[in-house]
Amino acid sequence: MAVLLFAGRLSAQDVYRFGATPVLNLNAKLNSNYSINAKLDNRLIFQTGAFNGENLNTAYRFERQDAEVVLANKLSANTKVAGGYMIRFESGRVIHRLMQQVSFTQPLSTIRFAHRIKADQTWDPDEAFELRLRYRLGAEVPLFGTQVDPNELYFKSTLEYLARFQAGFENELRTTPTLGYLAPNENAFELGLEYRYGKAFEAMSDHGFWLYFGYYVRI
């Protein structure tokens, strides 16, 4: 639905990127209230261009690699606050980012929602300091029962809004519908499509279509 909504605003000058983003996510519980999450996120580009056919580039390239670590504290049974750091390696540059977030889950009878409010600050040697404020709604639907249990499939989808403050102000929207499998050891594998609508609602927007492969490991 969101993809269709965003795609409805396509113009011929809009640019796009198509590729894949394999993500490895490690989560370890330190004690009953603290947990640590580490993430490795790579981005591979298969094709770029404009929707009017200009600047077509089909050369494969490895765009970037992110490594992230986040420490989370449980405030209540369904609420967590977290803070973390990310380092990005992209085109010979090293980019640093700090993150702060609060999240809460909302279990209903056969669906579970998660709300995440996040702020991050980025220092890129080639660009001005960037601040982003974000809200993400996630929903998880078990395909076989009332909750996702080991050895079961599930559907998960997230929808996120980002307000970017750099030299100016930009909107960004993201959505990632995925099909997931929770293994008996409680590790999870997800396969889906991530869509990013950058410079949203502007005369020339950019669109990212990424095949998403997520692997979540519980330590």
Partner 1 sequence: MRNVLKIALIGFAFFSTGTCLSQVKYEREYRIKKDTIAENACVFIHQSEFLEEKTRVKWYREESEDGTSTEAKFKQNVKRYSIEFDETGKLQDVELEIDESEIPVETMKKISVILERNFDRWKIKKVQRQWIGSEIEVIESINKEYAADGVEENFEIVIKGKVGNEKNYYELLFDQTGELMRQQRIVEQSSDILIF
Would you tell me which residues interact with partner 1 (CB under 8 A)?
Answer: 25, 27, 32-33, 35, 37, 39, 70, 72, 74-78, 80, 103, 105, 109, 112, 114, 116, 138, 140, 144-152, 156, 180, 184, 186, 188, 190, 216, 218
CB 155 → partner 1: shortest distance, Å?
Answer: 12
CB 91 → partner 1: shortest distance, Å?
Answer: 26
CB 103 → partner 1: shortest distance, Å?
Answer: 5
What are phi and psi for residue 2, nearest 5 degrees? Answer: -65, -40
Query: Nearest to residue 206, comparing CAs of 53, 44, 51, 2?
Result: 51
Which of residues 90 and 152 has its CB atom nearest to partner 1 in the complex? 152
Which of residues 64 and 218 has its CB atom nearest to partner 1 in the complex? 218
CB 72 → partner 1: shortest distance, Å?
Answer: 8
CA 55 to chain centre: 27
Question: What sign has the CA pseudo-torsion 185, 186, 187, 188?
Answer: positive
Which of residues 17 and 136 has its CB atom nearest to partner 1 in the complex? 136
Which of residues 99 and 200 has its CB atom nearest to partner 1 in the complex? 99
CA distances from 124 to 128, 160, 202 (A): 7, 23, 24
Q: Show Cβ contacts of residue 104 under 8 Å, excluding neighbours closer than 6 positions.
A: 78, 79, 80, 114, 115
Question: What sign has the CA pseudo-torsion 109, 103, 213, 132?
Answer: positive
Which of residues 122 and 158 has its CB atom nearest to partner 1 in the complex? 158
Which of residues 33 and 65 has its CB atom nearest to partner 1 in the complex? 33
CB 44 → partner 1: shortest distance, Å?
Answer: 21
Residue with tokens 């603290």: 34
Q: What is the DSSP string of 1-62?
A: -HHHHHHTT--TT-EEEEEEEEEEEEEEE-SSSEEEEEEEEEEEEEEEEETTSTT-B---EE
CB 54 → partner 1: shortest distance, Å?
Answer: 37
